Chain A
């Protein structure tokens, strides 16, 4: 158990809809990262939050947004969903400011299926 909690584990929805994925980081971790894993693109970094502030952006679509709340949990919002958004979405956390040697610990992922 990594200590990172993601809900829901599975999500099935239709094109054009909007969903919210939730992540609770490990206790004490200030950084939250979101990644998307798809068959064609592999594992790709989407966005990072550190202590409530956006810190870095990767290959995140404009239809996607995220935020980190004062209790450090994070939500990833996906809107106007397309078939190509079907993927496994991971949240990871790390201590963040303690230096780059800290590994990122991943949650079990949310598997999103668009019908």
Chain B
């Protein structure tokens, strides 16, 4: 069974500073995908960034980047130049390949609550 661990229940960051949210994973699969989602207090789940296990370059999407260290099985999310609107829960997730083509479920970590301080 796959497992996602987010060890930081809560984090604080000063506005305009960078912050790193930790995520480690456990899998015996060679091919897997890692995702980060943001959940504001309003409740919706917003896709942020994706990293494939065979991708050699770290993924980046605007102010979001993923620090992927395959040997350490870590996929940390880095948010640069934090904004007040970044205050939210952040979830790390791993794609689990189930039997049959097109069967992909996500396994989520417990999340990190990020608070941006003005």
Could you tell me which A residues sit within 8 Å of B by CB distance? Answer: 2, 30-31, 33, 35, 42-45, 48, 50, 55-56, 58, 88, 90, 92, 94, 96-97, 100-101, 103-109, 111
**A100 to B44, Cβ gap below 8 A?**
no
**A100 to B33, Cβ gap below 8 A?**
yes
Contact of A106 among B37, B50, B99, B101 (CB under 8 A): B37
Q: Does B98 contact A (CB under 8 A)?
A: yes
Can you show 14 pairs from A to B with CB atoms below 8 A apart?
Answer: A2-B44, A2-B47, A31-B102, A42-B110, A48-B104, A55-B102, A56-B105, A100-B95, A101-B33, A103-B50, A104-B35, A104-B106, A106-B44, A107-B44
**B44 to A94, Cβ gap below 8 A?**
no
Closest A residue to B95 using CB positions: A100
Q: A2-B46, A103-B35, A109-B43 are known contacts. Are A97 and B108 too (CB-CB below 8 A)?
A: no
**B45 to A45, Cβ gap below 8 A?**
no
Q: How many residues of B contact A (CB 8 A)?
A: 31
Closest A residue to B52 using CB positions: A101
**B98 to A56, Cβ gap below 8 A?**
yes
Bound-state CA distance A35–B102 (Å) is 17
The main secondary structure of chain A at its interface with chain B is: strand
**Taking the nearest CB of chain A, how far is it from the CB of B63, in angstroms?**
18
Residues from chain A with Cβ under 8 Å of B46 in the complex: 2, 106
B 44-78 binary contact with A (CB < 8 Å = 1; else 0)? 11110010100000000000000000000000000
Closest B residue to A106 using CB positions: B45
**B103 to A55, Cβ gap below 8 A?**
yes
**Taking the nearest CB of chain B, how far is it from the CB of A74, in angstroms?**
15
Bound-state CA distance A33–B93 (Å) is 14
**Taking the nearest CB of chain A, how far is it from the CB of B107, in angstroms?**
7
Bound-state CA distance A55–B31 (Å) is 20
**A111 to B102, Cβ gap below 8 A?**
no
**A108 to B47, Cβ gap below 8 A?**
no
Closest A residue to B32 using CB positions: A100
Residues from chain B with Cβ under 8 Å of A97 in the complex: 101-102
Bound-state CA distance A103–B49 (Å) is 9
A-B complex: 4 closest residue pairs judged by Cβ atoms: A106-B45, A43-B108, A45-B105, A56-B98
